[in-house]
Structure 1
Amino acid sequence: MKSRVRKAVFPAAGFGTRFLPATKSIPKEMLPLVDKPIIQYGVEEAIAAGCDQIVIVTGRGKSAIEDHFDISYELENTLEKRGKKELLAVSRNVSNMVRLSYVRQKEAMGLGHAVLMARDLIGDEPFAVILPDDVIDAKVPCLKQMIDQYDKLQGSILATQVVEGPAISSYGVIDGTPLKDDPRVMEVKGLVEKPKMEEAPSKNAIIGRYVLTPKIFELLEKTPLGAGGELQLTDGIKGLLQSEKVYGYTFEGKRYDAGDKVGMLTATVDFALKRDDLGPKLREHIQSLGL
């Protein structure tokens, strides 16, 4: 009997140094993209993809994430007394959206280590990993597209996008062969971490969405620490290739790197322009700049 992907892991223990000084006291995952924290976009995507349990891997100074998804009695009581029903509904929707669990990563030891911390809460079933920094705007949620592929192929799925030029050196890159019946899907033969542009095996870069089989935990436990004393998820996936099929999937949608200042600003403008309450005034302002 096939196991359904119903759990999603969110690694959220990083320091967010690229956004200092803002992230000195605020988790980078809580920085607002328009009027929602970055991490909420990912949680909503996981729910829309059919996940009903969210595991967030946190570290020191990340209590604001837990507070955000918890009930705020004082706020809700005040809003109720003042008759602000719409805002009350917004607050309650956040705290009621899904079951959340938290696990602490005591040291920032890499993405693979963060995923391994969730092992006891995931158990022996397939699961998703969402990196909150990668915000993806898509008609069909990116994770839903990937889970549909997992259901068909019964192998781990890595989200990929085509990256041109020298920027490919900032990513893990897939070496693989496209499937005949679906060119968006590649059977992975190998992974190269941050290759030089001329040595990259393809233009298919791995971005922050994964659907993984539970075998990955066993492999991560045996994988030695890499550069900087970190346990890399890609090293664990390389081990997975020895016993299972792994696929890369070029998703449909637009990805924003919200862990980068320009990416965050671009996402903020694009998301705001799509809003009926914000778009017209913002568009008018942009046009007035005469750029």
Structure 2
Amino acid sequence: MINKAVIPVAGFGTRLLPITKAQPKEMLPVVNKPIVQYVVEDLVEAGVKNILFVTGKGKQAIENHFDANYELECKLEKSGKLDKLEELKRINNLGNIFYVRQKEPRGLGDAILHGESFVGDEYFIAMVGDTIYSKNIVKDLIKAYEKYNCSIIALERVPKEEVYKYGVIDGEEIEKGVYKINNMVEKPKVEEAPSNLIITGAYLFSPKIFKKIKETKPGRGGEIQITDAMNLLLKEEEIIGIEINCKRYDIGDPLGWLKANIEIGIEMFPELKEFLKELIK
């Protein structure tokens, strides 16, 4: 049973400046709720209710969002806005949420390592806090784990010219959409990429990943890269990649954020599509 998750949210969000100067990128709204709420809701829906946020300076808004606001709740109750009150109380009770602080940005690997004492010797989920999916990818990770009993990572096939932005895998397809991973490369040059299957930021890890992170030397950008740690883990255990069959929204830059708002907005409010058609005439 997978019941713990680690969500690193300590990054500066520099590609989204100046929006993220005082606002955590994970708290930017996608239609009617912040990015990170989508992540937490998918985890809880999949049965993963013990969640650790690895935060950093200026991330207090995340803690406040998942905490109770009694003054606001009292105001809503007195004004008869009971539907809004019910929604706030639902957010307050989304799983068992804990926080630890990464004192300096040293990469995704280091951030995940901050979850070691929280996770213990259990398999666990790790999700980046600025990526959401059009379906519950956590359920797919758990389903694959139950079949293969090893670490599982979510993959996406992207145009070859975009691979330089991501971690890329080298692997062999063992069944449709499932890959036995042999190696991973962080942000390779296009001509050196082993494939166009990229690591999306959704992982189900063996607890042995913590030992491998500790053994990992700083890599690209002077940071502890989780791809380097996973390559060390590959020497001892299998890692399976599953190709996602849904839409992924990477909200690391303004265009990605706008696209997510438009696409998800159209799903929630179909009349928006007609408005956009009129707008671009």
TM tier, smaller: over 0.9
How far residue 228 of structure 1 moved from its aligned partner, in angstroms, is: 3.0
Q: Report the Cα distance in structure 2 between the residues aligned to 1:206 and 1:195, rounded to whole angstroms.
A: 12
From 239, 248, 254, the equivalent of 1:246 is 239
The match for 2:230 is 237
Q: Report the Cα distance in structure 2 between the residues aligned to 1:74 and 1:6, rounded to whole angstroms.
A: 32
Closer, same or farther: CA 200–228 of 1 in aligned 2, 3 Å: closer
Unmatched 5+ stretches in structure 1? none
Question: Does 1:106 pair with 2:106?
Answer: no
Closer, same or farther: CA 243–24 of 1 in aligned 2, 3 Å: same
Q: Report the Cα distance in structure 2 between the residues aligned to 1:203 and 1:243, rounded to whole angstroms.
A: 25
Cα deviation 1:210-248 (Å, max 9, x = unaligned)? 000000001111211223331111111001001000011
Question: Does 1:35 pair with 2:28?
Answer: no
Q: Report the Cα distance in structure 2 between the residues aligned to 1:240 and 1:191, rounded to whole angstroms.
A: 11
Q: Report the Cα distance in structure 2 between the residues aligned to 1:18 and 1:194, rounded to whole angstroms.
A: 16
Cα deviation 1:134-189 (Å, max 9, x = unaligned)? 11102xx111111100111011111100011210111111111111xx22110011
From 262, 272, 279, the equivalent of 2:270 is 279
Question: Does 1:62 pair with 2:53?
Answer: no
The match for 2:162 is 167
The match for 1:128 is 125
How far residue 78 of structure 1 moved from its aligned partner, in angstroms, is: 0.3
Q: Secondary structure at the match of 1:24?
A: coil
Q: Structure 2-normalised TM-score?
A: 0.97
How far residue 196 of structure 1 moved from its aligned partner, in angstroms, is: 2.0
Q: Report the Cα distance in structure 2 between the residues aligned to 1:199 and 1:15, rounded to whole angstroms.
A: 29
Question: Does 1:262 pair with 2:277?
Answer: no
Q: Report the Cα distance in structure 2 between the residues aligned to 1:284 and 1:203, rounded to whole angstroms.
A: 35
Unmatched 5+ stretches in structure 2? none
Q: Report the Cα distance in structure 1 between the residues aligned to 2:222 and 2:173, rounded to whole angstroms.
A: 34
Return the letter of the residue paired with 1:156: S
Q: Report the Cα distance in structure 2 between the residues aligned to 1:237 and 1:269, rounded to whole angstroms.
A: 35
Return the letter of the residue paired with 1:208: G
Q: CA RMSD in A?
A: 1.1
Return the letter of the residue paired with 2:243: T
Larger mean Cα displacement after TM superposition, 103-112 or 168-177: 168-177
How far residue 287 of structure 1 moved from its aligned partner, in angstroms, is: 1.7
The match for 1:6 is 3
Cα deviation 1:73-92 (Å, max 9, x = unaligned)? 01000000111100001111
Cα deviation 1:18-71 (Å, max 9, x = unaligned)? 222221111111111111011000001111222011110001111110000000
Matched-pair contact (CA < 8 Å) for 1:159–1:248: yes
From 127, 145, 154, the equivalent of 1:150 is 145
The match for 2:196 is 203
Matched-pair contact (CA < 8 Å) for 2:49–2:94: no
Q: Secondary structure at the match of 1:192?
A: strand
Q: Secondary structure at the match of 1:23?
A: coil
Larger mean Cα displacement after TM superposition, 201-210 or 110-119: 201-210
Q: Report the Cα distance in structure 1 between the residues aligned to 2:188 and 2:247, rounded to whole angstroms.
A: 24
Q: Report the Cα distance in structure 2 between the residues aligned to 1:101 and 1:244, rounded to whole angstroms.
A: 29
Q: Structure 1-normalised TM-score?
A: 0.94
Return the letter of the residue paired with 1:144: K
Identical aligned residues as a percent? 44
The match for 1:288 is 278
The match for 1:190 is 183
Larger mean Cα displacement after TM superposition, 198-207 or 103-112: 198-207
Q: Secondary structure at the match of 1:50?
A: coil
Cα deviation 1:84-142 (Å, max 9, x = unaligned)? 1000011111001110010100000000000001111111100011112111102xx11
